[in-house]
Amino acid sequence: MHPIVIIGSGMAGYAAAREFRKLNTEQELIMICADDAANYAKPTLSNAFTGKKAPEQIALGDAAKMAAQLNMKIVNHTWVKSIEAQAHQLHLENADGAASMQDYSKLVLAVGANPIRLAIAGDGSDDIHVVNSLNDYKAFRAHIDECHEKRVVILGAGLIGCEFANDLQNTGHSVTVIDLAPQPLGRMLPAHAAEVFKENLEKTGIHFVLGTTVEKVSKDQHGSYFVALASGQSLKADAVLSAIGLQPNTALAKAASIHTRRGVVTNAGLETSQADIYAMGDCAEVNGTLLPYVMPIMQQARALAKTLNGEQTAVHYPAMPVAVKTPAAPLTVLPAPVDADVSWETETLEDGMLAKAVDADGTLRGFVLLGATAGKQRLALTKLVPDLIPAAI
């Protein structure tokens, strides 16, 4: 029997391997990835400064350690150039340019997502950092550690942008966050909650410039940058970080005639449109939903492990709140489904607020817990919210 092959060494790829090994210790398992296959939790990158973690302390294990731990062959620094879906074969190319073929019985696409990059003019635009991997983070930290005035401009006031802003401001940096939206966390929070969240972060010194975007980033002779905004405003920075969102990696799947939309399309069983090929993690659009968070990945890994072991299993999504790592404004959010018609019931607390999204039937569909007091109600409220996707294929 040919091996099960996982493409990608991120959280999704390793979670799938780990869950499968709990069920089956014998089946040959191969992981193929373009990087060094270091195992780390990407969410730790956005609070590593506060946690006093140097980049080299973040990885939990290198390729050799993970291969031994999971009884798995890891082929790193190797690219999957194409998938022959009918023949169940992969065309590979390593860092030296050598080509090879790899057979598979089942294939798992855990290829993640790439940062969205804005088209920005100026001779400093190529110096804009993104942090979507440990290697990205190492480059960003190396730059930041050399900055004298520590002025950082962050493009994007979403989850990652706000977490990095809080982490950097908390460690002696001066942070300005720019977003075209009128509020931070625009896709997660209702406007009234977003305003309080923003005010709490502003109290730490974080500056928000909203309703505009960056047009140009220029270098000066001292290694600093001028950031010109569409509003006419100009900012000076020692580093610029882009955190405006992620785009699922679909190119490999598309080339193999696998159905894609925003992501690689799967059913509730994580099956793609090609036999024996599955997708999970940030690249996967499961039953029309993209969920680039930790808890959905864990749910997917458990279900897929059973399926790969011969027990057809649908992914089951309970209500999964997202904890935003902004200690200056402790926040837990369970966004209401985009197709749900809800009204907000809000209770103001001494240290924040509790906001509930309730539908016409009186069913709780989501919530916002801002502050430590509200956060204590997370478990109780989560139990009241219906599952996101029924457990059916």
Is residue 390's pLDDT more than 70? no
Query: What are all long-range contacts of 171-177, with beta carbons under 8 Å and residues at least 24 apart?
Result: 171/49, 171/50, 173/144, 174/149, 174/150, 174/205, 175/205, 175/206, 175/207, 176/151, 176/152, 176/206, 176/207, 176/208, 176/209, 176/235, 176/237, 177/153, 177/206, 177/207, 177/208, 177/209
- pLDDT by residue (tens digit) across 290-312? 988 899 999 999 999 999 999 99
Which value, in Å, is the radius of gyration of the alpha carbons in the chain?
A: 22
Judge whether 388 lies within some domain: no
The C-alpha angle with vertex 308 and arms to 305 and 314, in degrees rounded to 5, equals 65
| Residue 132 and residue 64 in one domain | no
User: Quick one: pLDDT at residue 114?
Assistant: 94
Taken as a whole, the chain contains a residue count of 393
| Residue 108 and residue 184 in one domain | no
| Residue 377 and residue 303 in one domain | no
CB 338 within 8 A of CB 188: no
- Residues 194, 210: Cα–Cα separation, whole Å: 12
User: Quick one: pLDDT at residue 393?
Assistant: 47
Q: Please state the pTM of the whole predicted model.
A: 0.93
Grouping H, G, I as helix, E, B as strand and the rest as coil, residue 52 is: coil
**249-261: b (≥16 Cβ within 10 Å) or e:** bbebbeebebebe
Judge whether 371 lies within some domain: yes
- pLDDT by residue (tens digit) across 257-282? 999 999 999 999 999 999 999 999 99
CATH number of 41's domain: 3.50.50.60
| Residue 15 and residue 131 in one domain | no
| Residue 195 and residue 262 in one domain | no
| Residue 193 and residue 264 in one domain | no
CATH number of 366's domain: 3.30.390.120
Judge whether 393 lies within some domain: no
Judge whether 324 lies within some domain: no
What pairs with residue 386 in β-bridges?
none
| Residue 149 and residue 254 in one domain | no
Concatenating the DSSP letter of every residue in 175-229 gives EEEEESSSSTTTTTS-HHHHHHHHHHHHTTT-EEEES--EEEEEE-TTS-EEEEE
User: Quick one: pLDDT at residue 52?
Assistant: 87
Task: Return the amino acid letter for 194.
Answer: A
| Residue 210 and residue 102 in one domain | no
Judge whether 130 lies within some domain: yes
**Segment 170-175 mean pLDDT:** 94
Structure token pair of residue 144? 């930041």
How many domains is the chain partitioned into structurally?
Answer: 3
Judge whether 34 lies within some domain: yes
- Determine which helix (DSSP H) or strand (DSSP E) holds 246, and give its type and residue range: strand 246-248
Mean pLDDT, the chain, rounded, equals: 95
Judge whether 317 lies within some domain: no
Structure token pair of residue 257? 């005639």
Single out the residue of 349, 350, 346, 339 nearest to residue 367, CA to CA: 346
- Residues 310, 292: Cα–Cα separation, whole Å: 27
Instruction: Give the model's confidence band at 347: pLDDT under 50 very low, under 70 low, under 90 confident, else very high.
Output: very high
**Segment 214-240 mean pLDDT:** 94
**Segment 60-86 mean pLDDT:** 97
Percent of the chain scoring above 90 in pLDDT = 91
Which residue segment(s) compose the domain that 176 sits in?
117-242
| Residue 237 and residue 277 in one domain | no
| Residue 265 and residue 228 in one domain | no
